[in-house]
Amino acid sequence: MPTFVVEYKYSAETSSGRDDHRTDHRAWLRELERRKILRSSSPLADHSGATLIVDGPDKASVERIVAHDPFALANLIEHVRVEERAT
């Protein structure tokens, strides 16, 4: 199954909203790990975004998965980039 790098970009204005939804976001990440979809995730050091490493059949499927992130559902992500990782 292909592996994808997902990059989130946040705006400073959404910081308090991310704090409000962080527990749900982390639960969502844990569920993806349990289902063997998420390989790794980490916020950027400056808190301006995050990187996720995700397995999925294709880019569209990964985009659909990411759309269910509580941060995405609350419109707290300014930009999402999904790229297939070279093997």
Residue whose tokens read 């970009």: 9
Per-residue pLDDT of the chain (87 residues; tens, 9 = 90+): 999 999 999 998 989 999 999 999 999 999 999 999 999 999 999 999 999 999 999 999 999 999 999 999 999 999 999 999 986
DSSP state of 14: G
Contact 26, 68 (CB under 8 A): no
Residue whose tokens read 């962080």: 22
CATH of the domain at 64: 3.30.70.1060
Which pair of structure tokens corresponds to residue 62? Answer: 């990964």
Give the residue numbers spanning the domain of 71. Answer: 3-84
CA distance 79 to 39: 21
Predicted TM-score (pTM) of the model is 0.92
Q: How many domains does the chain have?
A: 1
